[in-house]
Amino acid sequence: MSTEQELKNNTTLQKEFQNLLEKDFKDRKLKENEIIKATITEITKNFVVVDCKAKMEGMIPIEEFKNDDDFKKLKVGSQIDVFLERIESFRGEIVISRDKARKMRAWKKMQKYFETQEEMTGYITGKVKGGFIATVEGLPCFMPSSQIDVRPLKRIDHLMNTPVKVIATRIDKNRGNVCVSRRAVLEKSKNAEISKALKNIKEGDIIENAIVKATTDWGIFLDINGIDALLHVSDLSHGRVKKPADLVSIGQKIKVKITKIDEKTNRVSASVKALTEDPYQNIEKKYKIGEIYDGTVTKIMDYGCFVKIEDGIEGLIHNSELDWSNKNVKPSKILSVSQKIKFKIVSIDKDTKRVSLSYKATLDNPWNELREKIGEKVKIKINNITDKAIFGELTDSKISGMLHYKEISYDENVENLKKFKKNDTIEVKILDVKDDKIKFSKRALERDPFDWFKENNKKIGDVITTRVHEVLKTGVKVSIDKDKKLIVTIRKADLAKETADQRVDIFSSGNALDAKLIELDYKLRKIKLSPKAAQLDEEKTLIQKFGENATKSGATLKGIFEKAIGKKKKKEK
């Protein structure tokens, strides 16, 4: 009886304890994936045991505490933050992490720092491709190489594993990536110092002792009372400057004028040429267009030469103004650097500060002499032969001109070009000189075949006795003069009045053929002959002479011709 009573009492106590335990667990309200407070109950060699007010105690590997600054201060009874992953695993154990809790808290803090751009303390712990790993608040962050300092550093050993101030520049929550910058902190500090220093200077101030820090091809960097300033190459002098390094040296003190201060970027621009008067201001009073002056060649380019007129003023001689005979001459073949020359001012543009000069205008112009030689015989050396012309230069002046294929011979045959080759020297006549271009003629040295018409007093309408030179399918070629320089083609339709007499097979080389001159153009060098027109004219003449009453008496044209021919034969007898 007593045994049964004890069993009942034990069962009742167990139920009461279970109810109390379940009620206690219910009141604890533990939620997964959140940071909770846990109390350390034991510290072993491999684990830290904590009470999370769960069904059982949690165990955290000791490695998760080794990077914790407060690890040495931990003791039984201390409270720490842990991340609750699962209240109960498949083994019935609680799953917690000290490392995840620290990273999650660091991430929230990092988001806040990124929004406020507040400075943080980090440690550069390693090097990766393109930059470094910086641990900030226990969170590994990426620091690009360009963001470690305001200037490139060859070595960063002095920065490894030491506290450095950084600012979060980019944050990617999805990927869990954070980029930080030490350079931004340094620039921020430097900008603050520069802003303070800029209050002591203003635009227009003249600085006596600006120190040259560095030189480049496009300018000079100066130190003005601790402020970096740029002296651009265009502000060094009113004239042209090749290299700034030719004018100054590192550490040299120079006098400059502050020309611009950009308050947004804290950039300062300085100028040396602003200290002196612009020589272009009154240039038109010193130099006149069309006048000749002395100067020194300072620079030679492919397109021309620069000449120093005076300090701060330079002019350009384009290569077309260097030589009379060659507009595209290479400048270095005419002038050299440091050579003192005379030049003529062609134009002055005060606004763009450009002065155009001419060197050839100070030399004798051979073109003027050539204009006086039009019609004279000269010798040329062939430089080039194209599809339509020969180009050669005068042997006595090196000026080039053109000999068109039509001016080689009066037959105007393009095949005549093949008779010549490069470097041949030939005699020609100067035909024309216009716009600095020369036209030569070789055929002008010979007698013009067209002069035959003037010499024999022949004009349009006259009948000329020609000789058949060549028989063609479409007509015949006839020669007018004995030298056979005037060859004219007569079409088949112009050979005779009657169609039967227009057959080319009745003609042979050497036959005499009377033809009427119906076209003679000396300018276009065009001749047109027609035996048919000569026959028609002769027919009209006969009709007028013998056929006045022939139609009344019933006589035929054939009879009239026979009668006329018969009379001629009697006279001949």
The reported pLDDT for the residue numbered 553 is: 44
CA distance 502 to 504: 6
Same domain, 205 and 253: yes
Q: Which of 362, 378, 403 is the last residue of a domain?
A: 362
The reported pLDDT for the residue numbered 466 is: 93
Token pair of 346 as six digits: 């062609």
Reported as a pLDDT band with limits 50, 70 and 90, residue 289 is: very high
Reported as a pLDDT band with limits 50, 70 and 90, residue 3 is: low
Statement: residue 262 has pLDDT above 50:
yes
Does any domain span residue 503?
yes
Q: Taking all residues of the chain, what is their mean pLDDT, rounded to a whole number?
A: 82
Statement: residue 182 has pLDDT above 50:
yes
Same domain, 540 and 469: yes
Same domain, 93 and 82: yes
CA distance 185 to 189: 6
Q: Which of 341, 362, 383 is the last residue of a domain?
A: 362
Statement: residue 569 has pLDDT above 70:
no
Reported as a pLDDT band with limits 50, 70 and 90, residue 483 is: confident
Contact between residue 93 and residue 49 where contact means Cβ atoms under 8 Å apart: no
Same domain, 101 and 124: no
DSSP 160: B
Cα distance between the two ends of the chain: 197
- DSSP per residue, 263-320: TTTTEEEEESGGGS--TTTTHHHH--TT-EEEEEEEEEETTEEEEEEETTEEEEEEGG
Does any domain span residue 433?
yes
Q: Which of 362, 396, 422 is the last residue of a domain?
A: 362
Same domain, 388 and 463: no
Same domain, 108 and 123: no
Q: What is the mean pLDDT of residues 178-193?
A: 82
Same domain, 377 and 437: yes
Q: What is the mean pLDDT of residues 451-465?
A: 90
Same domain, 121 and 107: no
Same domain, 302 and 241: no
Same domain, 213 and 155: no
Statement: residue 550 has pLDDT above 60:
no
What's the whole-model pTM score? 0.47
Return the closest-CA partner of residue 359 out of 348, 372, 343, 376. Answer: 343
CATH code, domain carrying 240: 2.40.50.140
Does any domain span residue 561?
no
Same domain, 537 and 457: yes
Does any domain span residue 377?
yes
Per-residue pLDDT reduced to its tens digit, 108-145:
888 888 888 888 888 998 889 989 999 887 788 999 98
Q: Higher pLDDT residue, 17 or 169?
A: 169
CA distance 571 to 573: 5
Does any domain span residue 464?
yes
Does any domain span residue 554?
no
Phi, then psi, of 522 in degrees rounded to 5: -65, -35
Same domain, 34 and 111: yes
Q: Higher pLDDT residue, 392 or 192?
A: 392
Count of the separate structural domains present in the chain: 6
Statement: residue 217 has pLDDT above 80:
yes
Per-residue pLDDT reduced to its tens digit, 335-362:
999 999 999 999 999 888 889 999 999 9
Does any domain span residue 269?
yes
Per-residue pLDDT reduced to its tens digit, 303-325:
999 999 988 888 999 998 998 87
Range of the domain at 350: 291-362
Token pair of 525 as six digits: 């060098």
Statement: residue 551 has pLDDT above 50:
no
Per-residue pLDDT reduced to its tens digit, 364-412:
888 888 888 888 889 999 999 999 999 998 888 778 899 999 889 888 8
Does any domain span residue 373?
yes
The reported pLDDT for the residue numbered 305 is: 93
The reported pLDDT for the residue numbered 560 is: 54
Lowest mean pLDDT segment, chosen from 193-197, 356-360, 436-440, 482-486: 193-197
- Identify the top-confidence range among 3-12, 126-135, 365-374, 559-568: 126-135
CA distance 256 to 219: 14
